[in-house]
Structure formats: C-alpha cells, structure tokens
Amino acid sequence: MVKVGIVGWRGMVGSVLMERMRSENDFQGIDPVFFTTSQAGQKGPDIGKEIPVLQDGFDVEILKGMEVIVSCQGSDYTKKVHPQLREGGWNGVWIDAASALRMSEKSIIVLDPVNREVIDKGFDAGIRDFIGGNCTVSLMLMALGGLFEAGQVEWLSTMTYQAASGAGAKNMKELVSQMGAINEAAQPILDGPVAAVDTAVAGAMRGDAFPTDNFGAPLAGSLIPWIDSPMENGQTREEWKGVSETNKILENETPIPIDGICVRIGTMRCHSQAITLKLKDDLEIAEVERLLASANDWVKVVPNTKEATLKDLTPTAVTGTLTVPVGRIRKMNLGPGVISLFTVGDQLLWGAAEPVRRMLNIAVEKLSA
Ligand SMILES: NC(=O)C1=CN([C@@H]2O[C@H](COP(=O)(O)OP(=O)(O)OC[C@H]3O[C@@H](n4cnc5c(N)ncnc54)[C@H](OP(=O)(O)O)[C@@H]3O)[C@@H](O)[C@H]2O)C=CC1
Ligand SMILES: N[C@@H](CC(=O)OP(=O)(O)O)C(=O)O
C-alpha cells in the first residue's frame, strides 16, 4: 500500500479533509502516517485502523520515507519543508492546500473535474507538486466549467461574497462573537421603536468593546471589501488569483480576462459570487443552462425564480455539501452575449479539502498501477 504522510490534519481544512476521507473509506487503500508540528509522540486520529504515533512534521528524514505527502498546514510550513525535501532528492508526490507553490512552474493546480487531463499529462511528464487552488477560483470553475469547456468565455467579472472561514478558524469564532455582541445591544429594546434598535446596534458595532481583533473591522451586520494583501496594480491578491490561477488551471495559452472585487461577508463557510460573463456567441439561456449542467456531477442549475433561488441558491442551503448551485442566469441588457450568473459553494469542501482528497486518490491510483 502507498505510504502517505498527512500534515495539518487537525486544522480546519485538515479536519474537513479527514471527515471526507473517513466517509469515502479512503484510509483503507493507503498506509497513512500522521505528522504534527506541535504534538510529536502523541496519539494520532481515529481512522478505524492502527496507526503509528504522531511524527515530527519537521523531521525531513522521516518525511522522505513517504511516497505521498498531503499538507493542510499552510504556506509557512510548505516554504520551510518542501525545499528541504526536494533539495534532498525526494521525488515523492507533494499535495498541498496552501497557496505557496501554486504559481510555480513545477506545479499543477488541481481541480480534477475541470482539469483532469492537465493533471494526467503533468504526472506522466514527471511533475510531482499538485496544489489545491484558491477557494474562490475552484468554486467559480466548478460552477462555470461547462462554459469554459465549450470555449464560450470571452471575459468575466466576478464580485465575491466570501465567508469568514477563508480567513481562518479564529475569524469564524469572531464572527459569531460579533453577532452575539449585536444581539446583546439590541435584545433589551427589541420591543421598542426600531430607530432606537438601529442606534444601539450601530453604537455597539462602532464601540471599543466590539470584537474585531482578527478581522480588524465589524463583519457581522457589515462587510469588508478587501481580502488579502495589496498588489501594485490596485487589485488585492485574492482578486489577482482569480485571473492567474484560473488561466493556469485551464492551461490557457491566451489568458481569459477575469477581474472583480473580493468582499468578505458574514457567512460561516460558503463563498458566493455574482458573475457578469461575456459569451463568445450570443447563446440562448437554455443552451447556457445545458452546458453548465453537463460539466460535472456537482453543479446544479437553479431556475431564475424567487422560489428556487431562496430554496437552493443560498449559503444556508449549500453549507456542508458538495453541491455547487448556479442560478440567476439571464441575458443582461449590456449587449449581445453578456449574461449574469450567481453561484454558491462550500469554501472548505470544493474550495479546499475536496480537490486535495481527490488528488490523493489519483496519485495513489497512479503509484499503485
Ligand atoms: N485552498 C484554499 O482555498 C484554502 C486553503 N487553506 C490553506 O490551508 C491552511 C490551513 O488552514 P486552516 O486549516 O484554516 O488552519 P488552522 O489554523 O485551522 O490549522 C493549522 C494548524 O494549526 C495547528 N493547531 C494549533 N492549535 C490547534 C487547535 N487548537 N486545533 C487545531 N489545530 C491547531 C495544527 O497543526 P499541528 O497539529 O502541527 O499543531 C493545524 O494543522 C491555510 O494556511 C491555507 O494555506 C485554507 C483555506 C482555504
Ligand atoms: N483567501 C481565501 C482563503 C484562502 O486560504 O485562500 P488561499 O488558499 O488562496 O490562500 C479567503 O480569504 O477566502
């Protein structure tokens, strides 16, 4: 059985990965060794079979004994350990959820329902670094894969509504604390005039006691139109990833123009995106829906009605599931071939853990052949 080292398994992304691997019985087909950066020697997770105690995630010699390493530990870990392994001659398969290696010439960004051919070709050519894409990019491609595959995307603009989970576990908790602080300010006067409730809520959100250590600003009852670090051209890094990662995943020789504004909103783990897309041909909406629906097993076209939208096209409907609904599909009055779409996806599943889990299975299959 293929020896697989797993690092970062108890973090937020890692926990979702573990849950998916358990429910898909993935551990039965591999020989797993669990690593840690802080708990070496302690007992590993319960995966339904005997495993060694936790190994030191910085011990390069033990890591070199793995045929595959899966990391959900983050970019700092990758930047420290990956070069030591490669410079030390390790030629195993490195599969990573972090962004550090995504744009490297020696890596492939993995999203197999969309770019399985690129993965297979790369593996056969000797590439051994396979990196999960940015959550917003992966979710957009899962939703719109059918239009890209049909060569119909001339350009697109995506305005995002991104969940707290993308900023980390502490931020998810801070969002809930902020909701609690708002409720605390408003609850005693909720039966009174709404103007007083509004004043109390705004006062609490602007007050020094409002918990903002992690986000740096109120998110509950508000939003933050900035994600990640600034780029020189005025984009944020999250916005830059949209165009660079998408075109790398699709191996486009001529890049498709993609741009927009990335916004953090007060959802827990589902990202949403409002997309304006220019089709190459002025297709009928029924044809657009047919192309979208036929792309993969998880995308779900939602009819452009209020009833269907409220039922299926919200973070509440999608959270914790692999379904990627896409709706609000219509021709815009901006010219021929310009359409609107709205999509929602779980940022921890298709946005992080699932492409990594599926790449592990692809690697195991190839190494066992
Ligand atoms: N592809 C994507 O879109 C996304 C990618 N990511 C990537 O995944 C990386 C990991 O993110 P995330 O899972 O949010 O990180 P977490 O902060 O949840 O976990 C990272 C590590 O922190 C350590 N840790 C310390 N204390 C605790 C604790 N009490 N509970 C759990 N773990 C603890 C664990 O390492 P140890 O066991 O070694 O102590 C764990 O593996 C990110 O840095 C990012 O690069 C994240 C989100 C989306
Ligand atoms: N930046 C994303 C989450 C993330 O971790 O992205 P990346 O894997 O590209 O660093 C967000 O904040 O929603």
pLDDT digits (tens, 9 = 90+) for 86-97: 999 999 999 999
The protein residue whose alpha carbon is closest to atom 6 in ligand 2 is 134
Query: How far, in Å, CA of 310 to CA of 347, rounded?
Result: 20
Q: Identify the structural domains of the chain with CATH numbers, from first to last.
A: 2-133+353-368 (3.40.50.720), 137-167+224-346 (3.30.360.10)
C-alpha dist (Å) from residue 288 to 146, 337, 341: 8, 11, 10
Q: Which helix (H) or strand (E) holds 288?
A: helix 285-293
Q: Does 74 count as an annotated binding residue?
A: no
Q: Which helix (H) or strand (E) holds 234?
A: none
* Type of residue at 313: L
Q: Does 194 count as an annotated binding residue?
A: no
Does residue 95 line the site of ligand 1, with CB under 6 A?
no
Query: How far, in Å, CA of 225 to CA of 160, rounded?
Result: 9
Q: What is the ipTM of this complex?
A: 0.95
How sure is the predictor about 59, in pLDDT bands with cuts at 50, 70 and 90? very high
Express as a percent the part of the chain with pLDDT over 70.
100
Known catalytic residue: 72? no
In 3D space, the residue among 90, 136, 94 whose CA is nearest the CA of residue 236 turns out to be 136
C-alpha dist (Å) from residue 100 to 82, 288, 290: 10, 35, 36
The predicted model scores a pTM of 0.97
User: How many angstroms is it from 323 CA to the middle of ligand 1?
Assistant: 24
The protein residue whose alpha carbon is closest to atom 31 in ligand 1 is 11
Mean pLDDT, the chain, whole residue set: 98
The protein residue whose alpha carbon is closest to atom 20 in ligand 1 is 11
Query: How far, in Å, CA of 188 to CA of 14, rounded?
Result: 40
pLDDT tens, 230-277?
Answer: 999 999 999 999 999 999 999 999 999 999 999 999 999 999 999 999
Geometric angle at alpha carbon 356, from 348 and 107, rounded to 5°: 125
| pLDDT of amino acid 286 | 98
Let me know: does 317 contact 246? Beta carbons within 8 Å.
no
In 3D space, the residue among 87, 83, 125 whose CA is nearest the CA of residue 108 turns out to be 125
Token pair for 292: 């979208």
The protein residue whose alpha carbon is closest to atom 3 in ligand 1 is 135
Atom of ligand 1 nearest to the CA of 356: 1
Known catalytic residue: 82? no
Site to probe by mutation for ligand 2, drawn from 12, 77, 99 as the one with most ligand atoms within 8 Å of Cβ, is 99
pLDDT tens, 211-221?
Answer: 999 999 999 99
Query: How far, in Å, CA of 58 to CA of 77, rounded?
Result: 9
